[in-house]
Structure 1
Amino acid sequence: MTFRQFAVNNVLRNKRLYAAYFLSSLFTVMVFFTFAIFAFHPAFLEGSMRSEVLYGMAVAGGIIYVFSFFFVLYSMSSFLQSRKKEFGLLMMQGMSTKQVRLMIFLENMLIGFFATVSGILLGLVFAKAILLLAENVLVIEETLNFYFPLLAVVLTFVSFMILFICISFFVSFILRTRKLIDLIKADKQSKGEPKASVLLSVIAAILLLAGYGIAIYVKGMMVVIAMLPVVIMVTIGTYLLFTQISVSVIRRLKNNKGIFWRNTNMVLFADLSYRMKDNARTFFMVAIISTVAFSAIGTLYGFHSFLTKGLTEGHPFSFTYTVSEDEKDEKFEKDIGVIEEALKKHDIAAASGTVDLAYFKQGDGEVLITKASAYNQLAELLGKEKVQVKKDEAVVVSDSNKVLASNEEKDRLLDIPVKLSDGTTIQPTRMRESSHVLPEMYSYYIVSDAAYEKLPQPERTETSVAWMAEKGQGEALAQAGEDIFNQIGGFNFASIDFTVYQINKVYGPILFIGLFIGIIFFVSAGSFLYFRLYTDLDDDKEKFKSIAKMGLTEQEMKKVINRQNALLFFAPIVVALVHGAVALTALSHFFDYNLVTESLAVLGTFAVIQIFYFAVVRHFYTKQIREAVF
């Protein structure tokens, strides 16, 4: 058997250890290849979105590439630790350090080559499905037909082979600068009783609570200012949480005889403190990476929701056309004709209403004051509740814009009376929460028709026409909106369906790319846990063999393994979910927009994925130990 055959056989004999490394690398290659397919697709190279896609591809590819480098480094570290006995045996048989380095280099290149080729092949298999998905998510006019992506294949293969070559040389460099015997004996050295500092534990709690408190308390632009110090505090606090607080908690549980001596808790806690010490850095890394994934996807999804839902809520009509009194004579009839013609062209059934918007001098600025009949006309068009206003009453409607609005502005109008032309005033008595009826962003007054006639001459007047189309005509409305926009421009005209379409068209690639990068981060975090778990597999087999001789049953063993694995998988993920929830709460404060639904969707999805991943890994892990012990 040649030396190369020996290296190949080593890989084949360690399929279990290399499985997660290989599959994760394959997935990373496939995602990178997917972006390359998009970037070099003829529809993009010749279409209007070429620059956006190429830029997104460059950013996403760079992130994936850099992250892949560190991911493979970590994988190789786990690989070296788990094969310490094998290295010791080979050196006893006469293998030199140089040959060990060469063997590791060949093994890593073999894994890298097949992961790259398999990732490209798998990407080709699912290329059409991915292109169809992207065609809908990206909201593009071009059809993404399947093509053979030769440039994407070459770019992906060359890029990742260079990456694996660099990683292999880097690992060889590490082995040259350290004695191999130190690597072999690393797990054999006495770990000692894990200790924790009370001071550092207190500091960790203070940092986390302070970081959470600041993130939840600040609002508006203060969120951006507070972001960097909060990230630093939470990151340091997270590291100390796993290295200090977790050890302190476990030691207290071990000192509690009522808990420690109950059932199989002795077996669990006796080894748990050492596991927490060994896994602290892994937990920290997984928690931070997962938090980045949660926050990135949550931010992209939340911002998209904020833009689209916020606009839809603030502009409930299908079309609105507003013109000032000065321009009404020369533009009004012509533009209205263009809009009506577009509605007929696209077979859109819509009801319309016309109102005059009069702005009066109130305090330091201008405020819209409308009469109840005008308000109720558009409210009826939308199917919303009408307002009843008494003769000597004024109602304040809160602003429909949640970013430009402020509570002080809303409250201020309640304190300012409406002045009539005869010198009398009407004091506002109540506030009506924003019902998004009139096309006005800011707070305004509603008065009775009789009181409206007594108002002084307005500072300016606008005429607004609103159309409300029947449901189920979204695509036709977007096309009609585009036609109208191209003819009369967008200064006086607004089409919510066309606006949302434009946002989705621009934002789609960002959301699509961000989603894939977030998934890569999360899958990689799960792979780190897999490596950490299977590094201890041989030790767990020996431990449970010894305990089984003293009477440990199979069910009791499963119970202990399930608890150990649950802690390994869910401790960092729970911390990351809490971090992510706080980050998304801060994001909602920045936008002044409720993101509870979006946050639950993102965090819940990742939690379900982690539960499924845990169930699969636990099954096979328990099966291997059971076969070795019983």
Structure 2
Amino acid sequence: MTFRQFAFNNVLRNKQIYAAYFLSSLFSVMVFFVYGIFAFHPALKEVHPSVTVGLHFAEGIIYVFSFIFVLVSMSAFLHSRKKEFGLMVMLGMTNKQLRKMVFLENVLIGSIATISGVGIGLVFAKILLMTAESVLELKESLPFYMPWEAIILTCGAFLLLFVVISFFTVFILKGNKLIDLIKGSAVPKKEPKASVVLSLLAAVLLAVGYGVALTVKGDKVVFAMIPVTVIVIIGTYFLFTQLSVFIINRLKKRKGLFWKKTNLVLFSDLAHRMKDNARTFFFVAIVSTVAFTAIGTLVGFRFMLTNSLAEERPFAIEYSSSVENEQEGEHIQLIEEKLDGLSYQKLPVHIKNVSIPSLATEYVPLTGVISESEFNAIAEAGGRSEKQVALDGQEAAYLYYQSTMMEAEDIEEVRTIDFAGKEINQKTAFGSVLMRTFDDYLIVDDAFYDAITDFEQETFYVFQVDDWKATADMGEQLLEDLGVSDTNGYGEHFTFSNLGYDWYVINQSYGTVLFIGLFIGAVFFVAAGSFLYFRLYADLENEQQKFAMISKIGLTDKELSKVLTTQLALLFFIPIITAVIHGAVALTALKNMFNYSMLESSVLVLGSFTLIQIIYFIFIRHNYIRRIKSYITN
């Protein structure tokens, strides 16, 4: 048997421990390759160059994270194999041969993971391209093509990564003495102790971080973000290294709980495992929090923008014309021609801009006045009947623009308004998005409105269409026909907007960001789960020996399963639950910042990831218990 064959067989013999490392590496390669397929797609590069830039940026993030993930995983894996290495050295293997063997093993696994990731990506390429068409809502299809550029980039980048990581492993092994290798992890452990001060500090830091994040609102959230993040990260570190051990030790001192049934076995080395794995749990919690928060934020923004757009825009088409606009009639006729064949309702609002001394400022010398009947008509057509007003000749209503994403503001009510030689009583003041000209208006009764003679007139047209999403293509064509080059719909002396087209643009742009962020978050999440899987299996040999001895004094299979399930659940879900809480607080802070509830998106994201983690736990638990029971029976 050659040395290369020996290294290959060594990988096969350790396939259970290598499984998480291999599958996670494979997943990272596959996601990187998928991004490459899209980034180099000729149709996407031509139509959406900004998307390809974002995809290449995402590839860079995945690549950097994959490097850190593989390096940490390999370091922990080598630590768990110290006994094996020590035995090989005793049998005559030199340190140089040992490092060469580990180098070949790592390159072998990396090469197989790279080739497998590219192969699986190619198999599912067409399905992924079709999924992207739906998510990005592309008008043109993304046909399958042979992504040679993506294949070359992926293979070159990850083969280089695994070679570099393999060189790092050589330095990790360098300097280990034989006695240290033989002892491995069998060195007697002292009873883990926790600092009361640091444990208390962990609780205080988390409480302060959560308190600030949940109470600040508006722009203050941005200023509080960095200090709160630092405080919570430090608090999380002490949570796993100090507070968790402190709580376990306190529970062990409660004899009624500690000596109850199998709790003695459960708690006997739980503190040791929490202390040994504290850094891993801390890393998993932070990485999972990043994944939760990033994806939750992206999904939340998409929900917020699309939902608020539909809430704020009750009309499919809006057209505002100033007094200088000589093409008003032509434009309105063009819009009606495009709407021909659809059921729609056209409603004009004639705005008289007049000077009102009691309301005028140096910045806004004119105030728009609209009639009660025209305002009530658009309020009813837009589904805002509660905004309708009933006025007499001596009354007015003050209407100001109020976005659904803005915190409600208190408008100082002006009781009397000097206007056209009369004193008008302001009956009410309220915010609305019906008049999306972003100006404030006075609503007066029709008789008083008709009596106003000295004014400059503007006209605001709304077109109510039940199926407003069907007008997206029409809206895009109208922007071109009207000669509107500004993306906000501003033309010369007029503005035009189409709800369907604006909704499509927002949905597509955030669909792109979500598509990119979803896979990055998935890589982070899979890596976090893999770290937990790896740490559990790194301690498997010691656990097998421990439970084999305990079973000899009467521990039944049922009790064994119960102890292992409880212990695994604590070790597996404590960092995940911590991440879920961190993520929920972060998303609540975003809700306070934008004054928009992200409950729906938060539940969707956090619930989905929690469900995946539960399924992952069930799979790991089944295999872990099976291997320990198999060792005991043999």
Q: Is the 8 A contact 2:240 2:281 kept in 1?
A: yes
Q: Structure 1 residues 143, 180: closer, same or farther in 2, change over 3 A?
A: farther
Partner of 2:472: 478
Partner of 1:543: 546
Counterpart amino acid of residue 149 in structure 1: P
Runs of 4+ in 1 over 6 A off after TM superposition: none
Q: Is the 8 A contact 1:400 1:440 kept in 2?
A: no
Q: Deviations over 1:504-556 (max 9, x none)?
A: 33333222111100000000000000001111111111111111111111111
Partner of 1:531: 534
Q: Structure 1 residues 180, 357: closer, same or farther in 2, change over 3 A?
A: farther
Percent pairwise identity: 50
Deviation at 1:384, TM superposition (A): 3.9
Partner of 2:425: 426
Q: Deviations over 1:580-611 (max 9, x none)?
A: 11111121222222212111111111111111
More divergent stretch after superposition (264-273 vs 352-361): 352-361
For structure 2, list consecutive stretches of 5 or more residues without a partner in the other structure.
none
Q: Deviations over 1:212-266 (max 9, x none)?
A: 1222222222222221111111110110111111111111111112211222111
Distance 1:406 1:331 in 2: 38
Deviation at 1:289, TM superposition (A): 0.3
Q: Is the 8 A contact 1:7 1:103 kept in 2?
A: yes
Q: Secondary structure at the match of 1:588?
A: helix
Distance 2:543 2:313 in 1: 62
Deviation at 1:359, TM superposition (A): 5.2
Distance 2:539 2:373 in 1: 76
Distance 1:128 1:13 in 2: 36
> Structure 1 residue aligned with 2:90, among 71, 89, 92?
92
Q: Deviations over 1:185-210 (max 9, x none)?
A: 35222321111111112221221122
> Structure 2 residue aligned with 1:400, among 402, 417, 431?
402
Does residue 438 in structure 1 map to residue 432 in structure 2? no
Q: Is the 8 A contact 1:314 1:400 kept in 2?
A: no
TM-score normalized with structure 2 length: 0.92
Does residue 33 in structure 1 map to residue 33 in structure 2? yes
Distance 1:17 1:464 in 2: 69
Distance 1:301 1:367 in 2: 40
Count of residue pairs brought into register by the alignment: 616
Q: Is the 8 A contact 2:107 2:163 kept in 1?
A: yes
Q: Structure 1 residues 202, 150: closer, same or farther in 2, change over 3 A?
A: same
Distance 1:294 1:120 in 2: 27
Distance 2:184 2:131 in 1: 48
Q: Secondary structure at the match of 1:167?
A: helix
Q: Is the 8 A contact 2:548 2:632 kept in 1?
A: yes
Partner of 2:104: 106
> Structure 2 residue aligned with 1:618, among 596, 617, 621?
621
TM-score normalized with structure 1 length: 0.93
Counterpart amino acid of residue 339 in structure 1: I
Question: Mapping of 1:153-552 within 5 angstroms?
Answer: 153-179=151-177, 181-327=179-325, 330-344=326-340, 347-358=341-352, 361=356, 362=359, 364=361, 365=364, 368-386=368-386, 387-391=388-392, 394-395=396-397, 399-403=401-405, 405-407=406-408, 410-415=409-414, 417-429=416-428, 434=432, 436-441=433-438, 446-449=443-446, 452=449, 461-471=457-467, 474=469, 476-488=470-482, 489=484, 490-491=489-490, 492-552=495-555
Q: Is the 8 A contact 2:81 2:184 kept in 1?
A: no
Deviation at 1:142, TM superposition (A): 3.1
> Structure 1 residue aligned with 2:578, among 575, 578, 589?
575
**What value does the CA root-mean-square deviation take over the aligned residues?**
2.2
Distance 1:530 1:249 in 2: 24
Deviation at 1:113, TM superposition (A): 0.7
Deviation at 1:121, TM superposition (A): 0.5
Q: Secondary structure at the match of 2:413?
A: helix
Distance 2:312 2:382 in 1: 13
Partner of 2:605: 602
Q: Secondary structure at the match of 1:493?
A: strand
Q: Deviations over 1:430-458 (max 9, x none)?
A: x6564x43335466554544565577956
Q: Structure 1 residues 252, 416: closer, same or farther in 2, change over 3 A?
A: farther
Distance 1:564 1:433 in 2: 56
Counterpart amino acid of residue 112 in structure 1: G
Q: Structure 1 residues 557, 433: closer, same or farther in 2, change over 3 A?
A: farther
Q: Secondary structure at the match of 1:411?
A: coil
Q: Is the 8 A contact 1:372 1:447 kept in 2?
A: yes
Distance 1:212 1:454 in 2: 59
Q: Secondary structure at the match of 1:551?
A: coil
Partner of 2:48: 49
Q: Structure 1 residues 394, 567: closer, same or farther in 2, change over 3 A?
A: farther
Q: Is the 8 A contact 1:342 1:483 kept in 2?
A: no
Distance 2:296 2:329 in 1: 46
Q: Secondary structure at the match of 1:593?
A: coil
Distance 2:605 2:399 in 1: 34
Q: Secondary structure at the match of 2:187?
A: coil
Distance 2:508 2:178 in 1: 55
Distance 1:588 1:359 in 2: 38
Does residue 16 in structure 1 map to residue 9 in structure 2? no
Q: Secondary structure at the match of 1:357?
A: strand
Q: Is the 8 A contact 2:30 2:120 kept in 1?
A: yes
Q: Structure 1 residues 256, 307: closer, same or farther in 2, change over 3 A?
A: same
Q: Structure 1 residues 590, 68: closer, same or farther in 2, change over 3 A?
A: same
More divergent stretch after superposition (487-496 vs 446-455): 446-455
Q: Is the 8 A contact 1:352 1:381 kept in 2?
A: no
Q: Structure 1 residues 562, 452: closer, same or farther in 2, change over 3 A?
A: farther
Distance 1:183 1:451 in 2: 96
Q: Secondary structure at the match of 2:217?
A: coil
Q: Structure 1 residues 137, 421: closer, same or farther in 2, change over 3 A?
A: same
Q: Is the 8 A contact 1:378 1:438 kept in 2?
A: no
For structure 1, list consecutive stretches of 5 or more residues without a partner in the other structure.
none
Counterpart amino acid of residue 520 in structure 1: V
Q: Deviations over 1:106-142 (max 9, x none)?
A: 1111100110000011000000000001112123333
Distance 1:239 1:150 in 2: 44
Deviation at 1:461, TM superposition (A): 4.0
Distance 1:567 1:160 in 2: 35
Q: Is the 8 A contact 1:389 1:446 kept in 2?
A: no
Q: Structure 1 residues 278, 456: closer, same or farther in 2, change over 3 A?
A: farther
Q: Is the 8 A contact 1:363 1:416 kept in 2?
A: no
Distance 1:193 1:523 in 2: 33
More divergent stretch after superposition (512-521 vs 35-44): 35-44
Q: Is the 8 A contact 2:401 2:436 kept in 1?
A: no
Deviation at 1:310, TM superposition (A): 2.0
Distance 2:149 2:514 in 1: 25
Does residue 127 in structure 1 map to residue 125 in structure 2? yes
Q: Structure 1 residues 398, 187: closer, same or farther in 2, change over 3 A?
A: farther
Distance 2:274 2:360 in 1: 64
